[in-house]
Chains A and B, each alone.
Chain A
């Protein structure tokens, strides 16, 4: 069987982001423009080189193109949901393969901290239309939905809060080596256990960090990627799966089915195995999501993620260093975008103290009603 036509068809050649934290007075447009400027400089490209534009959480592609003075051949906008970062990157690769664009700018801008976004309350529908039937019962945040899902996992498989703590501790350790991370003081399992409950059994340290920031990536064809300022990072494989039916409440299967589908297609396209992965970037809005993702993507058997993440397996130096920049729990909640940037930087060997030695393959995934996975590679084999 020949190589999959999409394998290594596109490559990331530029990454950039703003500082993360409280950035008052900056709209998603400002933050997106700042991040894009950084990504273009990283790639050695100009705004006028862009012929494809995909924006997410930047409210309007038209205004963004207007303010940059660009007329891309291909344009798209995705909803400002974390699951859409991976999906947007996949769209860029497909647009390039289809010949609809050759240099795609992906731009994300999030002013969630300054505008007091809490991912709860009346405007939060968690992707579905049914939040209104939850609010009278005091279920007003995505955290509650994830706590309910974790409680079920605990009942079925004996998963514990201390096991979730291993995830928080690992990511914070990585953030301590990441200059731009928002939370950099190392924590212990005891710190995690002593942090206050938000929605029990989830503690404060099971939660991501809502912040302001922008992230941008430049994706181009493998051919064009060869003469860029920096070593290209190839999009070697990707896949998607959904669980939309019955999605008004957290699913029975912890998104295992759609994540397995997304991972299977991704590994098949990339023609590599789980054991080949040098690092993982796992969407971590809440710690349980990491556990569910690792099971669904096939890194550990169903139900065993709690034990599996203990003993430093996800830490630098462990079997699968995960979220090496600190992830949403400690770097900043950039809805998957910054995790994809970190994948690229690891494969370029740019991450200094937190560098995974000789990293050649990195796996990204996000578990949600729409699951995505991407494998990035440092060469085009």
Chain B
């Protein structure tokens, strides 16, 4: 996969991993979608954070999830809110409810459909997109 096949133009902020997020992005860079899972009660949580909101335990694992999901909601972005997007668009932004991960939802894009083809309830599968830094970013394709 080459950079030219990226869904959005280069120059957007790349994942800025903080101490909480680091594990998530490290797994992504190996093309593994792993979500924080509480070791005490089994509850999945995202975005990454230090405690389990269900039981307050601070013990967790990075648990692999199936990589499928359902579009929970979406929008079509027209206006360039970031300089890198100037002259680009429209493009879709989706919130995907992951399968097999409790109520975990992730922001993303569906790369293989026109912006106006996305709809709530659409089934999607994971799509790994190579980044300019040599890592991978999780996006989505129509299932």
Contact = CB atoms under 8 A, between A and B. Distances in A.
A130 B78 contact: no
A250 B94 CA distance: 12
Nearest to A152: B73
Given A132-B18, A138-B85, A151 B137 contact: no
Contacts of B78: 196-200
A134 interface: yes
Given A135-B13, A248-B47, A148 B91 contact: no
Given A132-B16, A136-B12, A200 B107 contact: no
Interface string B59-92: 0000000000000111111110110010000110
A58 B52 CA distance: 35
A199 B53 CA distance: 31
B82 A144 contact: no
Interface in A180-210: 196-202
Contact residue range for chain B? 35 or more
Nearest to A202: B75
A66 interface: no
A121 B81 contact: yes
Nearest to B119: A155
Nearest to B118: A151
A197 B85 CA distance: 15
Interface string A128-158: 0110111111111101100111011001000
A244 to B, nearest CB: 10
Interface in B39-59: 46-47, 53
Contact of A199 (B17, B79, B120, B137): B79
Contact of B109 (A121, A138, A141, A249): A138
B93 interface: yes
A249 B95 contact: yes
A136 B75 contact: no
A250 B93 CA distance: 14
Contact of A148 (B46, B47, B73): B73
A77 B28 CA distance: 40
A246 interface: yes
Interface centre among B21, B77, B105 (most CB of A within 10 A): B77
Nearest to B105: A249
A59 interface: no
A245 interface: yes
Contacts of A245: 53
Contacts of B73: 148-149, 151-152, 155, 250
B82 A121 contact: yes
B53 to A, nearest CB: 6
13 contacts: A120-B82, A121-B81, A136-B137, A140-B12, A141-B81, A144-B93, A148-B93, A148-B95, A155-B120, A199-B79, A245-B53, A246-B103, A249-B95
Interface of A: 118, 120-122, 129-130, 132-141, 143-144, 147-149, 151-152, 155, 196-202, 245-246, 248-250
Smallest CB-CB A-B distances: 5 pairs:
A120-B81, A147-B75, A200-B76, A135-B13, A198-B79
Interface of B: 8, 12-18, 21, 46-47, 53, 72-79, 81-82, 85, 90-91, 93, 95, 103, 105-109, 120, 137, 139
